Amino acid sequence: MRYLVLSDLHANLQAFDAVMADARAVGFDEVIVLGDLVGYGGDPVAVIDRTIALNPIGIVRGNHDKVCAGLEPADSFNDAARTAAEWTASVLDREHQQYLAKLPKGPIRVTPEIEICHGAPFDEDYYVIDESDAEQALARAGARLCLFGHTHVVTLFATVADTFGEQTERMGEYYLPTKGPALINVGSVGQPRDRDSRAAYGILDTGNNTIWLRRTAYDVRAAQERILEAGLPVRLALRLDQGL
């Protein structure tokens, strides 16, 4: 089974469409979404609609989804994120707000071997950044493979070496440990933060026990224009071509 793994879309329609074109070219069977469909970007309604159309086999909410749906205040957000969340909430109709509000809280088990969450298995809003964070998350992981997002940075952690991290014959594809647990962050579709402006996503192949970490270029200028047209902070547009 080949799973298309998407995370942190952040209302970036241009990045979303580019990723889907690339993913359809390489092929996948089912879709998994790790949260934050909205926030920051200028096309929240379109991104929600496209996500719904994919009929994900597994999906969880992100912190921006919660705030934009009115489930939580934006107190923990910086000024730019708060402004974007308030604008997003103002342009979503009742149907789209309810969709976000009903997204499940992670972690959830997609298959016996795959668990998904937005932040960490023990806290959906926790940032798994370094080895110390990963140690806590691995100890609480409920499946061999735990897919997470939230940091917008491609990251792989595991408790056992096994063949983990060995690259296959294809660039960007790596073998996963057979025992686990392993934590996998495929990066962000809509707002990468690893100094690479290209949209990031993953293809998890359980048959070959690999994760293919893919990047694809998209029309950054068009995405920036949508942010500016919405009257959102300029810094949200500028960071897209910087990968920050």
Position of tokens 């100890």? 139
Residue at token pair 């000024």: 79
pLDDT confidence of residue 216: 98
Burial of 93 (0-12, 13-18, 19+ CB in 10 A): exposed
pLDDT lower than 50: segments of the chain: none
Q: What three-state secondary structure class fits 55? A: coil
pLDDT recorded at residue 48: 98
Distance CA 168, CA 110 (A): 25
The confidence score (pLDDT) of residue 163 equals 59
Could you state, in order of their start, the residue ranges of all structural domains in the chain? 2-241
**What pLDDT score was predicted for residue 40?**
98
Residue 11 has a pLDDT of 98
Q: Which of 183, 151, 148 is nearest to 165 (CA)?
A: 183
Query: Which architecture characterizes domain 2-241 according to CATH?
Result: 4-Layer Sandwich (3.60)
pTM for the full predicted model: 0.96
CA distance 174 to 217: 21
Query: In one letter, which amino acid is 10?
Result: H
